[in-house]
């Protein structure tokens, strides 16, 4: 089996790898009709999070179950399933509270940029679709595995409610789907922050009503101006930089919530500023598993189409070009066909 392996900064190659096998009785092996590259893969790719050994890449997946371990009871061979980047038992106290990414038995799923994948804790992790999906739904179902589930969590953590004015920091795939999530949750006005025209266009198609092209404090000033000087009712932070985090907090009105899902890199918060902001913060690695049943239903009934963030589709053979295109911001998100 061939799969994407990162060797060092900007050096990703398709290599022959051992096909995954059942190693625990709770595992499943799935065959992947499509996989993709995550914005967070770029932290490794760019050497910001250095890899110290050749690392199989990819953590977003959906596909057909080929084999299950003898302790797997609910997931069956032949089902089409979706799971999250953290495997979870879905039974421990943290899972029961809806935070499956803090599962007491959580296991990172890696190596999904390949034709096949081993998923631990299959019964707790995987959710099956009602039937085998038509091919045109596969990109949107794949998006639920991380990017859409993460965006949905950002909106949920920001407590988006019908009628609200919502601001979204970040025009990557998560930010764009944050716009879609806020729209789906009934936001009336959605302010997307983006300086890239194709992304602004997609944001508007997903439901953005206003675009702010300014960054930092000038971007904050513009959002204040758009909200009668008060700030947004809910803010989604979908980047993970100091600038985006401060932009999010400072764009929020007193009493608003900020949902932050960008993996923080060098973010530090000032206690005094936080104290006087009157802003609620909630975020972290999205508990995608909690949202999968609802999101699968929304995709299955064609109420949402998060797969539209894939603006580049390549055969898995061309994975290196897929990373380059995202690194150079030529592509929002790359879908790979094994």
Binding residues for Zn ion (CB under 5 A): 88-89, 92, 95, 103
> DSSP class of residue 20?
P
| Closest distance to Zn ion from the beta carbon of 92 (Å) | 3
Strands (DSSP E) contained in the chain are: 2-8, 11-16, 28-36, 55-56, 61-68, 80-83, 86-87, 107-108, 116-119, 127-128, 165-169, 189-193, 210-212, 232-237, 252-260, 280-283, 312-315, 334-337
Would you say 103 or 296 has its CB closer to Zn ion? 103
> DSSP class of residue 114?
B
| Closest distance to Zn ion from the beta carbon of 56 (Å) | 24
Closest residue by Cα to residue 323 from 34, 85, 37, 60: 37
- Residue 168 near residue 175, CB atoms below 8 Å: yes
Would you say 48 or 71 has its CB closer to Zn ion? 71
| Closest distance to Zn ion from the beta carbon of 298 (Å) | 25
Closest residue by Cα to residue 72 from 132, 128, 120, 108: 120
State how far the Cα of 111 lies from the Cα of 285, in Å rounded to an integer: 18
Partnered with residue 108 across adjacent β-strands are: 86
Task: Report the helix count and the strand count for the chain, using DSSP H and E.
Answer: 12, 18
Would you say 89 or 233 has its CB closer to Zn ion? 89
State how far the Cα of 287 lies from the Cα of 271, in Å rounded to an integer: 27
Would you say 95 or 180 has its CB closer to Zn ion? 95
Would you say 104 or 132 has its CB closer to Zn ion? 104
Closest residue by Cα to residue 54 from 8, 21, 106: 8
| Closest distance to Zn ion from the beta carbon of 105 (Å) | 6
| Closest distance to Zn ion from the beta carbon of 24 (Å) | 15
Would you say 6 or 87 has its CB closer to Zn ion? 87
Would you say 35 or 88 has its CB closer to Zn ion? 88
| Closest distance to Zn ion from the beta carbon of 87 (Å) | 9
- Residue 237 near residue 262, CB atoms below 8 Å: yes
Closest residue by Cα to residue 27 from 60, 70, 62, 61: 70
| Closest distance to Zn ion from the beta carbon of 154 (Å) | 22
């Amino acid at each position: 089996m061939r799969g994407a392996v990162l060797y060092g900064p900007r050096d990703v190659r398709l290599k022959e790898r051992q096909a995954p096998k059942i190693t625990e009785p709770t595992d499943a092996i799935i065959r992947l009709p499509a996989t993709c590259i995550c914005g967070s893969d770029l932290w490794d790719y760019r050497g910001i999070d250095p890899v110290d050994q050749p690392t199989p890449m990819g953590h977003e997946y959906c596909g057909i179950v080929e084999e299950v371990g003898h302790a797997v009871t609910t997931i069956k061979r032949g089902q089409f399933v979706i799971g999250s980047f953290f495997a979870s038992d879905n039974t421990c106290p943290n899972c029961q509270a809806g935070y499956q990414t803090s599962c007491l038995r959580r296991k990172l799923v890696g190596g999904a940029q390949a034709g096949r994948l081993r998923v631990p804790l299959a019964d707790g992790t995987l959710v099956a679709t009602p039937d085998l999906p038509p091919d045109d739904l596969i990109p949107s179902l794949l998006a639920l595995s991380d990017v859409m589930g993460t965006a949905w969590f950002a909106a949920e953590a920001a407590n988006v409610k019908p009628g609200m004015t919502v601001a979204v920091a970040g025009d990557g795939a998560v930010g764009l789907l944050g716009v879609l999530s806020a729209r789906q949750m009934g936001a009336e006005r959605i302010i997307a922050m983006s300086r890239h025209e194709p992304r602004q266009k997609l944001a508007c198609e997903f439901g953005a009503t206003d675009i702010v092209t300014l960054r930092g404090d000038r971007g904050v000033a513009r959002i204040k101006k758009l909200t009668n000087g008060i700030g947004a009712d809910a803010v989604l932070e979908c980047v993970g930089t100091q600038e985006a985090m401060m932009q999010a907090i400072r764009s929020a009105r007193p009493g608003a919530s900020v949902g932050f899902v960008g993996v923080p890199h060098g973010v530090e918060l000032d206690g005094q500023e936080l104290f006087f902001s009157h802003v609620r913060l909630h975020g972290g690695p999205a508990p995608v598993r909690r949202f999968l049943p609802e999101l699968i239903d929304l995709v299955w009934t064609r109420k949402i189409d998060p797969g539209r963030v894939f603006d580049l589709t390549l055969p898995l053979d061309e994975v290196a070009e897929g990373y380059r295109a995202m690194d150079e911001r030529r592509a929002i998100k790359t879908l790979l066909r094994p």
